[in-house]
Structure 1
Amino acid sequence: MLFAKVAIQWAGSMMAIAGTAFAQVPGSFEVVGDTKVSAMMVFLGNEEKVYILDKVEGNPSQINGHPAWGVEWDIASSTATLMDIPTNTFCAAGMHFPNGSWATFGGNAAIGPGGKIGSMPNPGGVDALYDATYQDWDGRRAIRVLNPCASGSAGTPQCQWFDNTTYVGMQKARWYASTEALADGSIVIVGGYVNGGYINRNTPNVDPAYSGGAAEPTFEFWPSRGTPAAVMQFMITTSGLNSYAHLYLMPSGKIFAQANFSTILWDYNNNIETPLPDMPGRIIRVYPASGAVAMLPLTPGNNYTPTILFCGGSDMPEPAWGNYSWPAINTWAYPASRDCQRITPEPADGSQAMYIQDDQMLEGRTMGQFIVLPDSTLLVLNGALNGTAGYATQTGETPTYGQMPFGMSLASGPVLTPAIYDPNALPGQRWQRFGQPSSIPRLYHSTAVLLPDGSVLVAGSNPNVDVNLTTAFPTTYTAERFYPPYFANISTRPVPEGLPETLSYGGAAFQVSLPIGSFVGDPNEAAGSARVVLVRPGFSTHAMNMGQRLVQLNSTFEVSDNGNILLNVAQVPPNPNVLTPGPVLMFVLVRGVPSLGKMVTVGTGQFGTQPVQAASFLPPSRARPSPAPSAAAANADSKLTAETRTKAVAIAVALGGALIALIVVIFLIKKRRGDKRGSGSLEPSGHIGDATMSAPLCHPGFESQDLVWPYVNGSPQPRAYESESSLGPIVSPARTYSGVGPVR
């Protein structure tokens, strides 16, 4: 029965593989569909859905009488379903909630066609509350919450964006803000513009804190702690070049922050900053230099000690960056940096944190984006050889739009070929160019996110103030999937059993089985290579993935006499600062090839202090004895299974269908049932102890919009509030979510 069960599971996997085998070529980009809105922001909502957000602009796709700027992307069918969002999401921040819901924070004021100020100005006339043509509301204080739902639920109210700043909003207006999740599941929101453009300063920079009201140097929390937003000195120190500051929670509970060329450790509870060394060469990594930045994988081998990698960006001289209006130089003629630096902010030996020169990139990149892959390598893709992110109608050296050589784009020389960075390779050997070039330039407002099958969704590119399909780098609606190196062996993808639904911080270990037939090759070798990793793909925008990190769980193995593998897997390290509560993809890898990722919940699924137990106890690894009669028979059986499976896949791919593979498997099942079963079978026992439960993500029974919010994020019922800088409640009435109807 065990073999039959595994074979049926494997047949399902093979059907999926065979159906797409021609497209899943390692190193290739596969064009998969039309996103309907340009993908400025994307995140993986669950195993089936990706959510895409654009800024407000004149997209051809319409919803409720206005251009759409949000969609739900179905991974299996590569199709987009429009979603209505009342407020302007332009350059918002985003982060997950503990129960798997997601939120975006801030955005821009209401705009109309061509990026002009909306038709209903705010007091003072500098920006607008609403625009009658595009029907968008001021989104700078917005907190938009989404409850990702399963297929078939897109039209139901509880699966729509909750976006109503009458009830839910930030204390401050924020555009280009940064976010980081904290140990209790809450989120810190840092900095941003109030109004502005290219960079966050005037020239001369006589008011580095507020720039005459255009900059926002404060931070606040969601859910609110009930205290006013406080000034963060770091946002003043880094004035100008601090948009989308890089934030990473450390094991100590402090936050590593980097912007401009400055670096700190920040005790956000007490608002105390500890300076760390400046970025060598004063290379800028934040927007609009937009270097590729990521935390390297956290593993038992490095004792879960974070190291941050910075690559690319720009070393333009300080005056060249200009001001809110535009850069002072023709940025598209200035080469991007190749430089890479590592820093371990909290060294385990207590030594001083220092930047360390790493291998240079293969070419300079601005807007290159790191995607942490399940095999613990880092993929970099997208971006350009020259210039910066952003767009403008002129520069300090080119006074008219008609003279701009690439339309509004401030970058040139798209980098079309990805590269792989291996953090465990020897110095001098960490970079490898990999794959064929894409045919689609991905510059400003491009995105990428890891999918559950281990491929990467790549979308967006729009260095234009409004939709422009005829310029040098047009508004882009075409999505691609990129297939990393492990797709060369994807026919050997492991099929684990017993993956949990939830994970705790410490506590009893759990068990995952890899029955004979669910992997290929020698069981001892397969078991020795097995790894269990958790990947949080993050919120992708502006060449960064907020919240992205990989944590490898500690594990040991047992191999039975007949070749079944049982993995004893530790819970998450007993420190929520290492991996904050919320959704992650769990992968089991054998010989570097990942299983299909399963979405699991870390922690309780609720905001608040997370229960912490002692670190999981693991028994020592135990390989299968060799030689032994039963082992030899099982090994032969394993080889037969592997060889036959490989041949079946080859046949299925050659004929372009999965049916043949399924027939072969049925034959093997019948043959197997006629054989005598080996002894020593290991079955997964699941959690050894109680597991915490997460809050449910979907609530089909709720039909009233008023009942959606409390179940979306597990936080208290929101109340209308008044901004300290306004005369009354901030109002952007939520639209009805039935798919039709006027603004309420």
Structure 2
Amino acid sequence: MEAKYVIVFSALLFSLIIVGETATTGNWELLKESIGISAMHTQLLPNDRVVMFDRTDFGQSKISLPEEKCRKLADGRIDCSAHSVELNLLNQDVRPLTVLTDTWCSSGALAPDGMLIQSGGSNTGERAVRTFQPCADCDWMENQKGLVVPRWYASNQILPNGKFIVVGGRGQFSYEFIPKSSLPSDFKVFALPFLRETRDAVENNLYPFTHLSTDGNLFIFANTKSILFDYINNRVVRNDYPVMPGGVSRNYPSTGSSVLLPLKLGSIHGTSSAAPDAEVFICGGAPPTSYITAIKGTFLPAAKSCGRLMITAEQPQWVMEEMPIERVMGDMLLLPTGDVLIINGAKKGAAGWYLGREPVLNPVLYQPESSKYEIMEPSKIPRMYHSTAVLITDGRVLVGGSNPNKNYNFTEQFPTELSVEVFSPPYLSSGPRPQISWAKPETELSYKQPISIGFTTKKNGESPLFDKFFKKKSHQRNGELENVSVTLVAPSFNTHSFSMNQRMMVLEINQVRQLSSRTYVIDCFSPPTPNIAPPGYYLLFVVHSGIPSLGRWVHIS
């Protein structure tokens, strides 16, 4: 071969390699220009539809109810505006839903049977419990006395027994359980002095961060402090967690965000633990005075700081890090790979009407294993106060909402936003995805159950030329496939920068068997206890070399 042809071929080969391995920073797509409402609250359902809603007293929305479902207001006027919708992710159809009580700043989570249970709000909705059953033509059902006391800006968490604990709310230093049953404890309100102790002049402890620890107790973080709480016996188990450093408030209205990092239940050749370590990760927020100063016209910079706390450690200590961008009102989402996406929000100000400035358009991807932060491609749409984000089945992130105004207003500096977008993380452009062919059992799982998953992979999408000429090390060892994992992700209820019930587990893998050149079987185990995985629906992903499959719905009972 003549030298010039060798040079040309080598250059072509090098370009193929570089193109194949260049890191991308995600991309955005406008999914729907308008769903008719601003998505203040968002929940993915197990039928791949998404329920979104705002508050019911915003005025005329841009989508109408069927005439037979119009409601009569207290002043006698007839209101035919819908304030809740169902978005079908398969065809982007939007169906208006009827919600009557005021859902402003309420809370929720999915019940074990897949029904959305949603609680609290303001005015007519302050004691309401609403349910939405996933089906083709279902609508909201409402019980205006489903809570014992008013709950506005409260947090919900599903428990190992399938019930929900509702924690806090404006002026409520207590908790209770829903849905109500015949148990006397369901109709009691239990004092939680911690919420009173962490309250400051502007109540920087609303929407407290609640995470179910792997021992079945509840980790509660408010403002800068945290406890581990035994909700069954109404007692604090641990109050020795250190104050989060930095002097930043993390809860509403100095709104940061929080996730429980992925629970690692085992790996190839590893050993499982009935109670793995649990680590909380909290990012962003604002100075305690940010809300008051913003009302007066001065918008303080948001926090860049993040903190990790191993809540199961004998002597836990905060490990502080720093994001590349300041952020208040940001959302933190667990991706199928175990990475954390930090999205939405503003660089200055606080949560509240007209109180945020300098929207943060760039998401940030955080890798817990390396503590690496990477800035992603920006959106063109500011998503500030009352914006939401949830992971959807195909591994993308659905983003909607943003209304820092007192009503539907499209002329303000930051107008009411009715659109929804999807953000595709970098893994969706990093090569072919593994494909799940089958699973045994298919959808119904029990605890500690062996699971077999058949899947195909194209060896991380590497170029055949790369393999042939450079003989790159194969991702196989002794007949097993390396860099593979199985993850379960609980669909979260997202509002006000907190994804309630968000949870992810990395399953214990026994072995990976090769059936053909690109076909494999993973033998793994379901989570061992409901403390680790409360009963309900989860998205199952196979992840190979950092690329997840499409999610597959499974149910644990």
Match among 473, 496, 514 for residue 542 of structure 1? 496
Q: How many angstroms does 1:496 deviate by?
A: 3.2
1:142 aligns with 2:131: no
Q: How many angstroms does 1:488 deviate by?
A: 1.0
Deviations 1:324-373 (A, max 9, x none): xx966435x200000111101112xxx21221112x01011001111111
SS in 1 for 2:143: coil
Which residue matches 1:491? 432
Which residue matches 1:229? 189
Q: How many angstroms does 1:47 deviate by?
A: 4.2
1:315 aligns with 2:287: yes
Counterparts of 1:201-216 in structure 2 under 5 Å?
215-216=171-172
SS in 2 for 1:35: coil
Deviations 1:655-707 (A, max 9, x none): xxxxxxxxxxxxxxxxxxxxxxxxxxxxxxxxxxxxxxxxxxxxxxxxxxxxx
Write the letter of the residue equivalent to 1:282. G
Counterparts of 1:50-449 in structure 2 under 5 Å?
50-56=50-56, 57-58=58-59, 59-63=61-65, 64-65=69-70, 66=79, 67-109=81-123, 138-149=124-135, 153-154=136-137, 159-165=138-144, 169-193=146-170, 215-224=171-180, 225-227=183-185, 228-239=188-199, 240-273=203-236, 274-275=238-239, 276-300=241-265, 304-317=276-289, 321-322=291-292, 329-331=296-298, 333-347=299-313, 351-358=314-321, 360-391=322-353, 409-425=354-370, 427=371, 430-435=372-377, 437-449=378-390
Looking at structure 1, the residues matched to 514 and 140 of structure 2 have their Cα atoms a distance apart, in angstroms, of 48
Q: How many angstroms does 1:79 deviate by?
A: 2.6
Looking at structure 2, the residues matched to 563 and 450 of structure 1 have their Cα atoms a distance apart, in angstroms, of 28
* Cα pair 1:217 1:233 within 8 Å, conserved: yes
Question: Relative to total residues, which structure has the larger strand share, 1 or 2?
Answer: 2
Q: 1:45 to 1:282 in 2, by over 3 A?
A: same
Q: How many angstroms does 1:81 deviate by?
A: 0.8
Q: How many angstroms does 1:96 deviate by?
A: 1.1
Counterparts of 1:520-599 in structure 2 under 5 Å?
524=476, 527-555=481-509, 556-560=511-515, 564-572=519-527, 574-599=528-553
Q: 1:560 to 1:69 in 2, by over 3 A?
A: same
Deviations 1:210-265 (A, max 9, x none): xxxxx111210113342311111111112222210000111121111111222111
Looking at structure 2, the residues matched to 321 and 473 of structure 1 have their Cα atoms a distance apart, in angstroms, of 18
Residue-pair matches, total: 488
Q: TM-score of the superposition, structure 2-length normalised?
A: 0.84
SS in 1 for 2:263: coil
Q: How many angstroms does 1:527 deviate by?
A: 2.2
Q: How many angstroms does 1:51 deviate by?
A: 0.7
* Cα pair 2:291 2:355 within 8 Å, conserved: no
Q: 1:561 to 1:71 in 2, by over 3 A?
A: closer
Which residue matches 1:671? none
Q: 1:163 to 1:523 in 2, by over 3 A?
A: same
Which residue matches 2:466? none
Looking at structure 2, the residues matched to 559 and 520 of structure 1 have their Cα atoms a distance apart, in angstroms, of 18
Q: How many angstroms does 1:491 deviate by?
A: 3.4
SS in 2 for 1:466: coil
Looking at structure 2, the residues matched to 422 and 446 of structure 1 have their Cα atoms a distance apart, in angstroms, of 24
* Cα pair 2:294 2:350 within 8 Å, conserved: no
Which residue matches 2:10? none
Write the letter of the residue equivalent to 1:145. T
Bigger Rg, which one? 1
Deviations 1:428-482 (A, max 9, x none): xx101122x1110000000000010001100000011111110011111011000
Match among 397, 413, 426 for residue 456 of structure 1? 397
SS in 2 for 1:424: coil
Q: 1:363 to 1:353 in 2, by over 3 A?
A: same
Looking at structure 1, the residues matched to 103 and 457 of structure 2 have their Cα atoms a distance apart, in angstroms, of 49
* Cα pair 1:68 1:84 within 8 Å, conserved: yes
Write the letter of the residue equivalent to 2:249. I
Looking at structure 1, the residues matched to 460 and 26 of structure 2 have their Cα atoms a distance apart, in angstroms, of 23
Looking at structure 2, the residues matched to 260 and 173 of structure 1 have their Cα atoms a distance apart, in angstroms, of 21
Q: 1:459 to 1:272 in 2, by over 3 A?
A: same
Write the letter of the residue equivalent to 1:238. T
* Cα pair 2:291 2:349 within 8 Å, conserved: no
* Cα pair 2:459 2:518 within 8 Å, conserved: no
Looking at structure 1, the residues matched to 220 and 297 of structure 2 have their Cα atoms a distance apart, in angstroms, of 29
Write the letter of the residue equivalent to 1:432. E
Which residue matches 1:505? 447
Q: 1:309 to 1:549 in 2, by over 3 A?
A: same
SS in 2 for 1:281: coil
* Cα pair 2:433 2:548 within 8 Å, conserved: no
Looking at structure 2, the residues matched to 597 and 478 of structure 1 have their Cα atoms a distance apart, in angstroms, of 25
Question: Relative to total residues, which structure has the larger helix share, 1 or 2?
Answer: 1
Q: 1:492 to 1:253 in 2, by over 3 A?
A: closer
SS in 2 for 1:477: coil
SS in 1 for 2:453: strand
Looking at structure 2, the residues matched to 498 and 231 of structure 1 have their Cα atoms a distance apart, in angstroms, of 45
Q: How many angstroms does 1:284 deviate by?
A: 0.9
SS in 1 for 2:195: helix
Match among 414, 420, 431 for residue 473 of structure 1? 414
Looking at structure 1, the residues matched to 85 and 496 of structure 2 have their Cα atoms a distance apart, in angstroms, of 18
Which residue matches 2:471? none
Runs of 4+ in 1 over 4 A off after TM superposition: 326-329, 515-523
Write the letter of the residue equivalent to 1:596. L
Counterparts of 1:18-37 in structure 2 under 5 Å?
27-33=26-32, 34-37=34-37
Q: 1:561 to 1:600 in 2, by over 3 A?
A: closer
Looking at structure 2, the residues matched to 462 and 180 of structure 1 have their Cα atoms a distance apart, in angstroms, of 26
SS in 1 for 2:540: strand
SS in 1 for 2:350: strand
Looking at structure 2, the residues matched to 591 and 282 of structure 1 have their Cα atoms a distance apart, in angstroms, of 39
Deviations 1:103-136 (A, max 9, x none): 1110111xxxxxxxxxxxxxxxxxxxxxxxxxxx
Cα root mean square deviation, aligned: 2.1
Looking at structure 1, the residues matched to 456 and 385 of structure 2 have their Cα atoms a distance apart, in angstroms, of 46
Write the letter of the residue equivalent to 1:226. P
Q: How many angstroms does 1:31 deviate by?
A: 0.6
Looking at structure 2, the residues matched to 176 and 300 of structure 1 have their Cα atoms a distance apart, in angstroms, of 33
Looking at structure 1, the residues matched to 93 and 352 of structure 2 have their Cα atoms a distance apart, in angstroms, of 29
Looking at structure 2, the residues matched to 515 and 418 of structure 1 have their Cα atoms a distance apart, in angstroms, of 31
* Cα pair 2:434 2:456 within 8 Å, conserved: no
Q: 1:229 to 1:139 in 2, by over 3 A?
A: same
Looking at structure 2, the residues matched to 316 and 563 of structure 1 have their Cα atoms a distance apart, in angstroms, of 55
Q: What is the percentage of aligned positions where both structures have the same residue? A: 33
Q: 1:439 to 1:564 in 2, by over 3 A?
A: closer
Write the letter of the residue equivalent to 1:311. C
Write the letter of the residue equivalent to 1:473. F
